[in-house]
Every structure is written in structure tokens, then in C-alpha cells.
Amino acid sequence: MSNTNNAITKNLAELVGENRENYFFSIPAYQRLYAWEQGHIEALLNDIKNAKTESKEGYFIGNIVVSYKEKEREFALIDGQQRLTTLFLIGFYLTFKKCDNWQNFILQNDKSGDKLRISMPCREIEESALKALAAKIAKLQDAERSQKGYFQKLISETPADMHTKIKEALECIRAWFEDAESNIDDLESFAKFIYNDVKFVFVELAQGTDLNRFFVRMNNRGKQLEKHEILKARLLDKIRKSNGEGQENNEWHIYAKIWDICSDMNKYIFKSAADRNISGDKNISEGKSIYDIIEPQQNQESSATGQNDDKGNTDNKDDDAPEKYKSIVDFPTFLLHVFKIVFDNKASIDKGKLLDIIKIESNKTDNDKKQDEAGMAKCFIQHLLFYRVLFDYFVVKEKIDSKEGGRYKIRRLCEDSKGYFYIIEQFTENDRDDKNDKTIKIYSNLSMIQNYLRVARAGDSQNYHHWLTPFLKYLGTLHNVLQDDTISKIQSWLENCKKGETTDIEQVVIASIAKQSKKEKEVEKQKEALLVNFLENLDAALACEQYKIETKQSNTADLLAIANSYPQEQKIQNNNNNSIAKDNWEFLDKGTGSPHYWFYRLEYYLWKNRANNKPEGFEAIADKFYFRSLNSIEHIQPQSRQNENGWDKTDENNNTKTRVIDMFGNLALISAGFNSSLSNQEAGTDKLHDLIKKVNKGDVESLKLWIVYYQHIIQNNDETNLKWNYDKAQDHKKQMLQILKTLLRQR
């Protein structure tokens, strides 16, 4: 061990060796356990795959900072734990696939016996479970490795109280490799690329370093400039230099402030504006310039002074808790959506290429070029503010510290009798100050379809949400249809801004929301119906094309092109294509390989038509339903019991190659955690009781699964004789497919 910090570039292969060169790691007590989400894992795998495809010499994942512990003969992981642990978990799947070298990477013999590459001394359950999983995989026969769903079975057999994120990560890795299998020419070659060509800087801290202090300091240290910060500098530079050599345009600092207020996607821009007194006085003043839009008022007390109205809804901790709300897209992604709307409808949404995509360039020369590019930069930032306000008023966000975790809602800014502003999720029907009046959830139908699209059409692994581009663009056009509402006032501000004469946008928005007339509330209801209809039609257009792709009636998979070209004010005409009407849904009979989108689509329309659906009690259950990201296909009749209750037969087409246990009627899309609790239970009393527990908590992950138990089991049997068989699964399949078929025929 040196008295100075040492840094050297390494790959995974160099961690596997003998004695001191055999690198083992442990996660210190002060480190959080594994926390990566599905998006992080898929992004890493996609980046590695792209690096290999583009024939790059390697893929660099940053620094791995460690401190050597002589007694334990291992390194304490100080920084880079999440990345290295993800590669470690990827190793479990690649070992399962018998890829070279990976067995020794995840579990290798040390002087004390078999030892995990990354140990978790403060997490005995996780360490024991992963060690057992690695040992199981090592002993598998080839027949078991080739058996469909076997790796998923191994995951389900891990302890129920094991850290959920690790289970979900293993399932996510499995799903990525199996979904991407057709896109990876050679799994062995890809595995070797990860093993030999994924590189990092291995930083070994000097002896005597105070690890706790170093860890805290490391988390507080400055970061390198992100791509959106570089873009900001480029655009502001164009505005600053637009007056020619030696003449600086002072408008640039105003546009910098607009950029900054738009950049925190995890806050509501209108709440931040109210707190900063951006709105100034409460009356809308005419003739203000763009300077007045974001300059805070001087010598005035903030509206968020720590005083509460009698409703107790005021949140005065926005600055102390910047992550109170969570946006469905991050700022770089939002920039790309706005750029597509304003400048280039065919631009891709890929935040990794942000600086290559968003280029503000003019074909003119000299000073004309500078003036033109400055105008384009201003236009982009003005529209950034315009669409950011629309985004905050009409797109869902999650409330992080809410007891209803995972529920994304649309919210509004409201003003109390003392002039203070607070965020609400529902308001009274006639008078917002009347507590006895009926309360209405704000845009509940629009929230639900956005939540459906949020999980069903997230877009790649980065949560790009391509549906947002046409939706935001459509929002910006509604002022032509519905006058005297929030959108028209925001749009009027933008038009005046282009002319250099504008009112303060925050005053406009706050006034229009905080004091709505009955007429405006009626307009809001009409607007919600239009927005829901627009998104349903957009999704239907994509569903029709996706169906053709699934049934191999179309070779194109460019659903993004459909979203880009989707008409702004035009309904989808009825689709009379005979191929849509055919009973060609075998692609849903693939067990864990069935495409998740169609499960989500079915759930949305089960919810939407809940009042007309049977069995009795379904509407009350559906009212509590909400969409969440799910990644596990549940076999209602377990795969381990595929020869019981009439399941030992061929499919309806007498095809012996198709496992009837994998048919759509026997499947439900649920979370990995819930799937783990149901695994290998017979589809009867035990599973029913687990489901009832979740229902009683108001937690229903799948309406389809609820229907199975309450319509096909409870209503037809005594609880003492609950059985789920092939015939019931067939009936359920026909019932659910009829809903999906009807939806396609209607479009």
C-alpha cells in the first residue's frame, strides 16, 4: 500500500488473477446498497452494445475508487459501487449462458474458500443469496441452461426478503439480453467485449485516508460540465455577441435566467416563480419586456414566507427539498422535445448526442449570420419557457415523499385568501375556498392515460417518451380551439414576446389558474376530453402499426416516424384493413417473452370501461388502480405445474411445439417482487389470499389478474375448491383478446 493515491486503467479481466492480483471488493457500511433502476441498467448495456457495434476500442465507465484492507485481502468500494455491482450482476446472466471467464469473475476460490467478487458484509441475506445463486448456476446442466424461463425461475427462488433492487436488476438484465438477442450477433463475442474492453480508472487511495470523510467530500465535490450546460453556454454566447465585435448584447443574462428556471424538471416552474416573486404584483401589467419575465422583485417579501393558510397545503420547503417532485423526463430530454417542435421534427431524441442534434446555425454571413443565430437562440429559449409551463400544467409528475409512492398526477397552483400560493391535486367544483363543496381530482382522466403511456411507451431505455413531442405541440395549438383559458393566455404571451411587447408570463399563468371563472372551468373539462382523445388516437395509430410488426405484416419498426407525422387536429379513421380483424394474436402466447405493451394497453381499457365491466365489484377495484413500471410476466398456473389441471395438452391448433402454459390467458404483467411471492403457488387459495391482501391495501397491480381470480375462480367455486384450469384460461384469453381486437377494429 502506497502513501499516495495510485490510478491505473483496468478492465474486468485484470481483476481476476492470483493472490494480490486477484481483486475482491466489499461494500462499506456507510455506502447505500444497490440502487440502480431499470433505466440505468439498460442505458449501460445499450451504451456498451453501441460501443461494440461502432468498433470502438473500448467503453469507459469512469472511476472506481477503492481502499485496500490488508487483513481481509480485499478493497473497500468508495466510489463506482453502482457501476461495478451492475457489471457483477450482468456476470450472473453471462455465467448462466456459459460465456467464457464469467464464472470466475462472480465467484472465485480464495484461501478461505469460494468468495463473491463483491461482498456485502453488512447485508448477510443478500451476500448469502448471491453466493447460493452463483453456486447453483455453476452446477447447472446444459439442458437446464437452455430451458426457457429457467434463469427467471432461479431469481424467483431467491429469499423473499432479499433487497428488491438486486432482484429487479437481475430480472432487468435477463429481459434486456433476451429482448436484444436478435440484435446481438454473437453473445459470446459481446460477453468478451464486456470482460476485456469495458474499462475504468482504478484509483487506490493512499494509506491512512479517512474513508468516511473522503466519501462525504467526494459526494459534495464539483462535477464536470454536462452536455446541456455546454449547450447553454453556446446559445448564450450567440446572443451575447449578436451586436458585433466589441459590442455585447446584455440580453444574454436574462435568457440565462430563463434557462436556469426551466432546467430543474423536478420542481413546478410556477411554484418556483411564485416563491421568487417573479409574478410581481397580482394584477396583469401590460407592456412588460422579457426582462420582467424572470427578474425577481427587489425589496419584497417572498410569497413563501413560512406562513400557512388554513388548508395546511402550503409547501415552504421547495428550496430545501429540490427532489420533492419527479418529472417523467430529465432536462436534456425535454430540450430535445422542444427542439423537435420548434426547429426539426425529424430530430432524434437521444440525450447522449444532445450537442450533435441541437445546433443553432445560420446560412447567412458575417453580422447577418450573428443576428440570425442570436434570433434563433432567443426563439429556442422563449419556446423552452413556453413549453415548460405547458408541461408543468398538463403533464404528470410524481410526488416523492407522498404515501402514494409511484403515483404520477397533474397538479395546479392555487392562491389562498392571504395571497400565498400552494400546489393542489384536487379542487372544489364551484368555489375552491368552500371546504364543503365537492372535490374533483385535477385532470384525472388525462393523468391516467399519461401514466399508461409513461410505462407502456417510455421509449428505449432512457424514458424519452416520444409521445410528448406531438402532445406538447398539440397543446400549443389549442388556443385556436378554446379561447379564454390558460393555453391561450400563454400562447398570447409568446406571440407578444416575439414582437418585443409582452406581459409577464407568470402573472398570466397564476391569474388564470388561481381565479378561474365557471366558464373557464367548463373550458378545462372540454380541453381534458380533447387531450385524452388526442393521446388515445395517437396510441391507437401506433398500436395498429405495432400489431402489423408483431404479426410480421410489416417490416418497419419506425413507430417514431408515426409519432412525428401524427396529425395535430384529426381523428384516426376507422381501420378496415382485414389483417387487423384476423385472429392473429399468437405473439401474446409466448410466456415471459410476450410483449409487455399489450398488457398495459389492455389494463388501460379495462380501467376506462370499468363501469361497464363485470364481475361485480370491479369498478370499485379499478378506481384504486394506477399504472406502474412492471417487468415480470406471471404464470397464473405455475410453469412447475404445467402437467396438472388439464394443462398437459397441445394448444388449440394442436401444435405440440407450443406450451399451452405460456398462453395469454394464463399470463399477467406484475412486479418482480409480487411475482416472487406468488412463484410456484398453485392458482388457488394461496395466490388468492396474496392477491386479496394487496386489494385490501388498495394495491392492484393487474386488473387482468383480478378478473381471473374473481370471475373465473371465486364466482365458479367454493373457496375450498379453488382451481384454475386450461378451459378457464381459454375463456379468459378469448374475453381479453376480444377487447384488444375491438379496439383495433374501431380505429
Q: What is the pTM of this model?
A: 0.64
Q: What is the pLDDT of residue 744?
A: 82
> Quick one: CA torsion of 69, 74, 80, 84, rounded to 10 degrees?
180
Q: What is the pLDDT of residue 424?
A: 74
Q: Which residue has the higher pLDDT, 205 or 170?
A: 170
Q: Which residue has the higher pLDDT, 101 or 513?
A: 101
Q: What is the pLDDT of residue 86?
A: 96
Residue 408: what are its φ and ψ, rounded to 5°?
-95, 130
Q: What is the pLDDT of residue 437?
A: 47
Residue type, position 379, single letter: C
Which grid coordinates are listed for 432?
375552491
Residue 561: what are its φ and ψ, rounded to 5°?
-65, -35
pLDDT band at 343 (very low <50, low <70, confident <90, very high): very high
Q: What is the pLDDT of residue 170?
A: 96
The answer to whether residue 450 scores a pLDDT higher than 90 is yes
Q: What is the pLDDT of residue 315?
A: 39
> Quick one: CA torsion of 46, 326, 602, 680, rounded to 10 degrees?
70
pLDDT band at 416 (very low <50, low <70, confident <90, very high): low
Q: What is the pLDDT of residue 21?
A: 63
pLDDT band at 672 (very low <50, low <70, confident <90, very high): confident
Output 474-483 pairs: Cβ under 8 A, ≥24 positions apart: 474/531, 474/534, 474/568, 474/569, 475/390, 475/394, 475/531, 476/341, 476/386, 476/387, 476/390, 477/568, 477/569, 478/527, 478/530, 481/530, 481/569, 482/523, 482/526, 482/527, 482/530
For the stretch 644-659, pLDDT in tens is 767 877 655 555 545 7
For the stretch 25-41, pLDDT in tens is 998 765 677 889 999 99
Output 676-680 pairs: Cβ under 8 A, ≥24 positions apart: 676/155, 676/156, 676/158, 676/160, 676/167, 677/160, 678/634, 679/153, 679/156, 679/157, 679/638, 680/156, 680/638, 680/640, 680/641
Contact yes or no for 506/293 (Cβ under 8 A)? yes
pLDDT band at 519 (very low <50, low <70, confident <90, very high): low
Q: What percentage of the chain carries pLDDT values higher than 70?
A: 64
Contact yes or no for 89/36 (Cβ under 8 A)? no
Q: What beta strand segments (E) does 671-744 contain?
A: none
DSSP string, 19-85: GGGS--EE--TTS------HHHHHHHHHHHHHHHHTT-S-EEEEEEEEEEETTTTEEEEEE-HHHHH
Q: Which of 66-70, 141-145, 604-608 has the lowest mean pLDDT?
A: 66-70
Tell me the pLDDT of the chain averaged across its residues. 75
pLDDT band at 479 (very low <50, low <70, confident <90, very high): low
Domain ranges of the chain: 6-220, 227-533, 575-745
Q: What is the pLDDT of residue 486?
A: 59
For the stretch 198-225, pLDDT in tens is 988 888 887 767 665 565 555 555 444 5
Q: What is the pLDDT of residue 285?
A: 31
The answer to whether residue 341 scores a pLDDT higher than 50 is yes
123: helix, coil or strand?
A: coil
Contact yes or no for 416/271 (Cβ under 8 A)? no
The answer to whether residue 138 scores a pLDDT higher than 70 is yes
pLDDT band at 573 (very low <50, low <70, confident <90, very high): very low
Q: What is the pLDDT of residue 168?
A: 93
pLDDT band at 665 (very low <50, low <70, confident <90, very high): very high
Q: What is the pLDDT of residue 560?
A: 65
Q: What's the whole-number mean pLDDT along residues 346-368? A: 86
Q: What is the pLDDT of residue 117?
A: 93
The answer to whether residue 359 scores a pLDDT higher than 80 is yes
Give dist(CA 340, CA 343) in Å, integer: 6
Q: Which of 199-208, 550-559, 727-736 has the lowest mean pLDDT?
A: 550-559
Q: Which of 508, 487, 495 is nearest to 286 (CA)?
A: 508
Q: What is the pLDDT of residue 462?
A: 59
For the stretch 43-95, pLDDT in tens is 999 999 988 888 777 888 888 888 888 777 889 888 888 999 999 999 999 99
Q: What is the pLDDT of residue 457?
A: 84
Q: What is the pLDDT of residue 734?
A: 93
